[in-house]
Each structure stands twice: as structure tokens, then as C-alpha cells.
Chains A and B, each alone.
Chain A
Amino acid sequence: MLLQQLINGLSIGMIYALIALGYTMVYGILKIVNFAHGDIYMMGSFFGLFFMKELHMPLYLAFIFSAVSAAILGMIIERTAYRPLRKADRIVPLISALGVSTFLISLAQLLWGTEMHPFPTAFGSKTYAVGSVTFSEIQILIFILSFVLMFGLHLFVTRTKVGTALRATSMNLTNAALMGINTNRMISLTFGLGSALAAVAGILVGIYYNAVYPNMGYMAGINAFTAAVLGGIGSIPGAMLGGVLLGLVETLAGAYISTQYKGVISFSILIIVLLIRPSGILGKKDINKV
């Protein structure tokens, strides 16, 4: 059973990692927690549903279109709900994010109803048994796709010019601007990338659980944030590590301790990490300037 649970945990973990990337990138650059990120993941899932069900697109196209739509949504949100507040007290954009989150959830409810929608694809139901362990097709897709995307993001951020500009902006906004980087564009790009990844995660989850519904962003968002913090907020490899770790810990705790208190365990991890090592496993220590 252990091996099977590990596989379960890994699948969940990779999904957390994909969503966590969005949190970590936005935090890295703007130092705010985008509470609405989980709901962008949810919208991405619905977009995927829409493209496949109404426009009959094949799966791979749905991924692309959804990612792009979510990126645009993310950028619009940044522009309207966060940018005007950049100079305000720190608490203000946080509350604005709450407002955006509430808005998105009700919008999804109005557009698509509150019931669970099945994901219209036969992909992913085939299973492969290896000894006492079963893999399903969708789990394999999750592993491969997540890994490819994360690796791709890492390369983008470390090896390209734009990526370097992105990193510069997250290190110090004002200085980056002084260097001639269009920081507003960098910020938009960050939101766009994070949202696109969240959308992919959303579709993968939609297929994995065969259920898409407006409230799905809430827990996923909190868990992904925990993962980002665990791995080191602001660090991309950290988000990946944190996601996988959290998925494994949660699953094992659920299997061997109690499934109902799973949520308690995740939150407790979050709290403990924040108390003992707030910069997370791979994060850099944050120096608080006076």
C-alpha cells in the first residue's frame, strides 16, 4: 500500500507545484500573496471545459487556449485590481485580492452553476498495473507535463534575456526600472505566466477527478500557497520541491493517521514552517531593512 500511496501523493504534489509556481512568482516580484490565484486555476479549468465541450477542441489545443485565456485574465486582474494599489498600505491589495476572489467565484457560479461538471474526455482512464501498484494514464500525463513545464520555466527564467529581466525586477523593483527594464511589463508577464501554469493544472485536475466546479480554487489555493512557503517563497525550484513534499506528506498522513484531519495537517505544516524557517527550504533569508 505504501508504494501506491506514494504515487497518489506524487500526483497531487505535482499539481500543487504547478499552482504554487504562480504564487511564488507573484510574491517574488510584488511581495504580495495573490489570494485570487486559486480562483484563476479554477477559471482555467472551466475555460478548458468550455473549449472542449462547446468548441470541440482536442485536448492539446484546449490546454493551449486555456493557458492563454487564463494568462489574459491574470493580466487584466493585475492591471485593474492591483496596479492602482501599488503605493498603498500593504493590507490594501490583500483585501482587494479577496474581493477579486469572491468576484471570480460568483462569476463562475453564475456562468456555470454550482454543480460539478464532468470533464469530457476519455483520456486518462486507462490504467497500468505494475505489481500491486496501479498507474493511470492521467497520472503519467501529470508527471510529464508538470515536469516539462517547470523545467521550461526554470530555463526561461535563468537562460533568456527576458527571464533575467524578470529576476532583476523581483530582486529590486526600483533598481530594475533604473536599469531600463519596463517593470510594469515584467509584472504583467509574471501574472500571465503564473496564470497560464495554473490553468494547465486546472485542466489536469479536471481530468484527474472528472470534476470542475466554482469552489475548487479555495483548498487548492491554500495548499499551493503552503507548498510555495514550504519550498521557499520567491524560489521557483522551491515551489516545485514544496509541492511534491506537501503532496507526499499529506497523502501519507491521510493514509496512516486520519483522512478527515488532512486539512489540519497541511495547515499545521504551514504554521510550523513559518515559525521555524519562514524562508522555507530553498528560500533566501529576507533581510528586513529599517
Chain B
Amino acid sequence: MNKKAAVGSAIAILLLILPLFLSQINDLWMHVVIMIGVFSILSMGLNVIIGYAGQFALGHAAFYGIGAYAAALLMLHLDISFWLALPAAAMIAGLFGFLLATPVIRLRGDYLGIVTLGFGEIVRLIFVNWVDVTRGPMGLPGVPAPSLFGYTFTGKTEFYYLILVLVVITYLVVNRIVHSGIGLSMLATREDETLAASIGIRPNKFKLLAFTVGAFFAGIAGAFWASYISYVSPDAFKYLDSVNILAMVILGGSASLPGSILGAAILVAGPELLRYVNEYRMLLLGLAIVLMMIFKPAGFWGEKHRKINFYGSGARKGDVK
């Protein structure tokens, strides 16, 4: 057995028995670990959009929210079981990803950023103001927990295993996508759209695909979260949350799935550990983002070969060469 497989199995076993330790110590850490799971899924999804397809998308929390609300509404009003609501919510979120991206896919970096930010805000405003459906700021309480063969999830341990499974599935699926021809096409689109088009890759198709995939997985995370917290309200899906997820992708490493998980771990566990310097937390985060961009734009666990390209490769469009 080679080293990589050995390390891999060790990690797997550790992850499987983790709850047994944690639930003895402190329920809080179980919660933190579960949240890391949720944000890993969000971060991996966003990474597909930003890291692989190179699209500067700022409103990711909106898809997370759509997934959460969709799942909650399906479970509360139509009595659908969690196991059906989850994929349904994911597909709804993915659909929205596709619909929202379609009109704006032609836009360049900075414009796209503002527009996606705009969409994020519009979706949030709808959550807050469409009181008939979403109950606005009062939120949707009482979202049921999943039940398997008659047993309803009650403690954190069950949710932990569920999120573990979801994270693994997300990782495997996204990994397959980005290491396939689709992934390569996305990377090509990221590097230079015109050039990619000239060799037969339709950039819009792959950018749309990236948004749809990213939104789909955000929907999964949202549905899980709705059931776990059992209460959905618009404050979980603000602009700042989108920035947070973006920061996870950046810190962890763009175009790198392990990086996304790392980024999620840092930004979810970090504030818990750093509760003592809480006042300075956002300050440090802002500073960290700027420093990362200057010194380590590929993130802590980013693509190794990209480190070279980030410095001085750059003929930007419009420059005279």
C-alpha cells in the first residue's frame, strides 16, 4: 500500500470515529465540525465557479438560501421527506443558478461581480419581503429533521454522519467534473476566452455549467442546513456570507478542492478559536485577504503550477503588447 492510500485510510477512519470523541467533550465542537462540512460543500461549489471557470461571482449565499427555503417549504407545506426534499432543493437551486447566470454570462470580471452581488441582494430582498411565502423576517420555524427507516435524527451525531456523506459525495462528484474534459474546458475558458473559442470550446456553455454546478451544491448545503437548524430566516444569506464563502475559496486555494475544505475549516473554526479577539476578527480577515492576494494569491493549498502564472504573466486585455 503506498503512502497516499495509507494516509487516506487513516483520515477516513479518524473522520468516522470523530463523533465518539467530540460528543463526550463538547456539543459545540460537534456543531463546529458539522458547520465546517456545510461550508466545505458551499466552498467547493463556489470554487468551481471562481477557481476553475474563473468567474468572479459574489452572490453565492443566494443559492444557499434558495436551497434552504426550497427544502423547508417542501417539507413544511407538502410533507415531503427530507431525502426527496434534498435533491429537489438542489435541483431548484441549480436551476436558479442557470437562470440567473444566463443573461449575464457575457459580462467580464468586475461587471459580473457587481451583477452577481446584485442578484444576491435581490434574492435576499425577496426572502425578506415576500411574506406570504417565506414569512419574511419571521422565518420558517419547525423544519423537520430527516428520518431513516422510522428513526428520526435527534442528536448531532446523526447529522454529522449525514454531512460527512454529503461532503464525500460532493468531493467525488466535483472532482470527477473538474478532472475531466469539462474541467479542462473550464480552465481553458478561465485563461483566455477568445483563445478557447478559437479552438472550439464554447466559453458560455462552460461558464453556465460552472454556475449551475456551483448553485446545485449550494442547494444541497442549504437543504441540509434547514433541517439541521430547523429554522430558516433571511439573515443567514447576506452579502457578508457570500464574502465569507469567497474568502474560504481564496484562503484555501482556488481551483483546489482540498483547498476549499481547508478554507472552510479555517473560517469556521477560526472564529470559534478566536472568540477572544472577536472585536478584531473582521479587521484581521480584511487584512488577511489583502495580504493573501499580494503574497499568496493561489491560497494555502492552491494549484501548485499556478503560483508561477500569477506573477507577471499578465497581458491584460486592452494593453498594447
Q: Which residues of A contact B (CB under 8 A)?
A: 27, 31-33, 80-81, 84-85, 87-96, 98-107, 109-110, 172-175, 218, 222, 225-226, 229, 260-261, 263-264, 267-268, 270-271, 274-275, 278, 286, 288-290
Residues in B whose Cβ lies below 8 Å from that of A226: 114
Which has the most chain A C-beta neighbours within 10 Å: B111, B286, B288, B320? B286
Main SS of chain B's interface residues? helix
Residues in B whose Cβ lies below 8 Å from that of A218: 239
Whether B56 contacts A99 by the Cβ 8 Å rule is no
Query: Smallest Cβ distance from A286 to chain B, in angstroms?
Result: 8
A98 CB contact (under 8 Å) in B246, B294, B297: B246
Whether B289 contacts A175 by the Cβ 8 Å rule is no
Residues in A whose Cβ lies below 8 Å from that of B317: 288-289
Query: Smallest Cβ distance from A135 to chain B, in angstroms?
Result: 31
Q: Which residue of B lies closest to A100 (CB)?
A: B290
Whether B110 contacts A278 by the Cβ 8 Å rule is no
Whether B314 contacts A89 by the Cβ 8 Å rule is yes
Whether B290 contacts A103 by the Cβ 8 Å rule is yes
Q: Which residue of B lies closest to A32 (CB)?
A: B110
Whether B194 contacts A275 by the Cβ 8 Å rule is no
Whether B110 contacts A98 by the Cβ 8 Å rule is no
Whether B122 contacts A267 by the Cβ 8 Å rule is yes
Query: Smallest Cβ distance from B57 to chain A, in angstroms?
Result: 10
Q: Which residues of B contact A (CB under 8 A)?
A: 50, 54, 56, 103-104, 106-107, 109-111, 113-115, 117-119, 121-122, 125-126, 129, 194, 239, 243, 246, 250, 279-283, 285-290, 292-294, 297, 309-312, 314, 316-320
| Given known contacts A88-B310, A290-B194, A94 and B110 CB-to-CB distance under 8 angstroms | yes
Residues in B whose Cβ lies below 8 Å from that of A229: 111, 114
Complex-state Cα separation, A174 to B54, whole angstroms: 26
Whether B114 contacts A88 by the Cβ 8 Å rule is no
Residues in A whose Cβ lies below 8 Å from that of B113: 33, 94
Whether A88 contacts B314 by the Cβ 8 Å rule is yes
Whether A264 contacts B122 by the Cβ 8 Å rule is yes
Complex-state Cα separation, A109 to B283, whole angstroms: 10
B289 CB contact (under 8 Å) in A102, A105, A110, A263: A102
Query: Smallest Cβ distance from B158 to chain A, in angstroms?
Result: 36
B125 CB contact (under 8 Å) in A81, A104, A173, A264: A264
By Cβ-Cβ distance, the 4 closest A-B pairs, closest first, are: A99-B289, A103-B286, A102-B286, A267-B118
Complex-state Cα separation, A275 to B119, whole angstroms: 14
Whether B282 contacts A106 by the Cβ 8 Å rule is yes
Query: Smallest Cβ distance from A183 to chain B, in angstroms?
Result: 13
Query: Smallest Cβ distance from A87 to chain B, in angstroms?
Result: 5
Whether B319 contacts A101 by the Cβ 8 Å rule is no
Q: Which residue of A lies closest to B289 (CB)?
A: A99
Residues in B whose Cβ lies below 8 Å from that of A107: 283
Residues in B whose Cβ lies below 8 Å from that of A175: 320
| Given known contacts A92-B310, A94-B113, A106-B282, A263 and B121 CB-to-CB distance under 8 angstroms | yes
Whether B289 contacts A260 by the Cβ 8 Å rule is no
| A/B interface sample: 25 pairs, CB < 8 A | A27-B110, A33-B111, A88-B293, A88-B310, A91-B54, A93-B293, A94-B109, A94-B113, A95-B289, A96-B294, A98-B243, A100-B286, A101-B286, A102-B283, A106-B282, A174-B319, A222-B118, A229-B111, A261-B125, A271-B119, A274-B115, A275-B103, A275-B104, A288-B318, A289-B317
Query: Smallest Cβ distance from A261 to chain B, in angstroms?
Result: 7
Complex-state Cα separation, A218 to B243, whole angstroms: 13
Residues in A whose Cβ lies below 8 Å from that of B246: 95, 98
Complex-state Cα separation, A106 to B113, whole angstroms: 22
Whether B111 contacts A274 by the Cβ 8 Å rule is yes
Q: Which residue of A lies closest to B194 (CB)?
A: A290
Residues in A whose Cβ lies below 8 Å from that of B194: 288, 290
Q: Which residue of B lies closest to A219 (CB)?
A: B121
Whether B293 contacts A87 by the Cβ 8 Å rule is no
Residues in A whose Cβ lies below 8 Å from that of B115: 270-271, 274
B114 CB contact (under 8 Å) in A95, A268, A270, A286: A270
Complex-state Cα separation, A94 to B286, whole angstroms: 13
Whether A260 contacts B250 by the Cβ 8 Å rule is no
